Amino acid sequence: MNISTINADLHSHSNHSDGTLLPEQVVERAHQQGVTLMALTDHDELRGVYAAKARAEELGIAFVTGLEISVTWQSTTLHILGLRVQLDCEELQSGIKKIRLDRVARAKEISSSLDRLGIEGAYEEVSNLVTHKDLIARPHFARLLVRRKICSSFKEAFQRYLGIGRPAYIPHTWASLQEAIDWIRLAGGVAVLAHPGRYKLDSQKRNLLLSFFCSLGGEGIEVVSGTHTTAECQIFAALAYKFGLKGSRGSDFHEIGGPVELGRMPNLPDFVSPVWENWNIPGHKKI
Ligand code: AMP
Ligand code: MN
Ligand code: MN
Ligand code: MN
């Protein structure tokens, strides 16, 4: 077996953040799709990992702990995946708890903006549906707008109300890049820059970000993402090589019927070292 071509999916969400499935259902679906190595990476949240790990053990699918930390770098929101983190790390746990507390205040502000647009009671409705009252994300509001038939799709909800610069968009400052990477490293994990194709950065600023990321101890980049085009996979494979970063592969699955499916992405190009290369995954021998 070539370790580069295993069906690894190291980016997925459950209803512990803005996904819709239970953690164990995400694992079951990954298994059905032929994924043999996976991580559940909820936003600023680790509480779903326990149930996912238990189900992965039952099904015999290799599982690593993970999360996706929200970061602000030079006014841009970035997402940093922490893979193989220890769950009992005080610094990581208190760091993400603070992010979640700030999410509550932000969710109330989003709701106030919607109120002013005549869409009332959004915070109350959303907070009654979420798994954790301190983990409310924009997709929860997007689903409310679709449920109330104010928008016909999730995408439209972002385009009309919740996306950057739209009337219910609340600018927010998340953790710093240094904080996120420090917490992940203190927890013994690997920091990976998630879906780099989604950030609106010109190539000069992207290079600046990648050198800074490396200087802080970042080790990987999500070369293959469910949200990347083939051209973007190639660009980020070349950048992984240039900056000496390991490559990761993840769908960013959130829900059944959404834009991406678990485990259905191209493989990492073989000149990129996979982030899982030396993980000694049961059943996955390096050749
Ligand atoms: P938040 O962390 O609350 O800002 O929510 C961010 C999440 O919203 C992302 O992880 C995506 O799941 C989703 N999202 C962000 N922008 C869009 C968009 N334009 N269209 C659809 N989903 C989006
Ligand atoms: Mn999300
Ligand atoms: Mn993300
Ligand atoms: Mn994600």
To test ligand 1's pocket by mutation, which of 79, 103, 138, 153 has the most ligand atoms within 8 angstroms of CB? 138
pLDDT band at residue 3 under the 50/70/90 scheme? confident
Tell me what pLDDT residue 241 has.
98
Q: Give 220-235 pLDDT, tens digit per residue.
A: 999 999 999 999 999 9
Is the Cα torsion angle 259, 194, 269, 263 positive or negative in sign?
A: negative
CB atoms within 10 A of CB 88: 8
To test ligand 1's pocket by mutation, which of 14, 158, 170, 222 has the most ligand atoms within 8 angstroms of CB? 158
- CA 44 to ligand 1: nearest atom: 2
d(C-alpha 140, C-alpha 18), whole Å: 7
Average pLDDT, rounded, for the chain? 97
d(C-alpha 185, C-alpha 194), whole Å: 16
Q: Give 37-72 pLDDT, tens digit per residue.
A: 999 999 999 999 999 999 999 999 999 999 999 999
- The one-letter amino acid at 127: S
Tell me what pLDDT residue 4 has.
85
The proportion of the chain whose per-residue pLDDT surpasses 70, expressed as a percent, equals 99
pLDDT at 287 over 60: no
Q: Give 90-102 pLDDT, tens digit per residue.
A: 999 999 999 999 9
Q: Residues 6 or more apart from 116 whose CB is under 8 A from it?
A: none
Q: SS in 3 state form for the chain?
A: CCHHHCCEECCECCCCCCCCCCHHHHHHHHHHCCCCEEECCCECCCCCHHHHHHHHHHHCCEEECEEEEEEEECCEEEEEEEECCCCCCHHHHHHHHHHHHHHHHHHHHHHHHHHHCCCCCHHHHHHHHCCCCCCCCHHHHHHHHHHCCCCCCHHHHHHHHHCCCCCCCCCCCCECHHHHHHHHHHCCCEEEECCHHHCCCCHHHHHHHHHHHHHCCCCEEEEEECCCCHHHHHHHHHHHHHHCCEEEEECCECCCCCCCCCCCCCCCCCCCCECCCCCCCCCCCCC
Tell me what pLDDT residue 82 has.
99
pTM: 0.98
Ligand showing the shortest atom-to-Cα distance for residue 12: 4
pLDDT band at residue 2 under the 50/70/90 scheme? confident
Q: Give 232-280 pLDDT, tens digit per residue.
A: 999 999 999 999 999 999 999 999 999 999 999 999 999 999 999 999 8
The proportion of the chain whose per-residue pLDDT surpasses 90, expressed as a percent, equals 96
- Ligand 1 lined by 163 (C-beta under 6 Å): yes
β 76-83/190-193 pair status = antiparallel
Q: Give 14-40 pLDDT, tens digit per residue.
A: 999 999 999 999 999 999 999 999 999
d(C-alpha 112, C-alpha 66), whole Å: 33
- Assess contact for 10 and 81: CB atoms under 8 A: yes
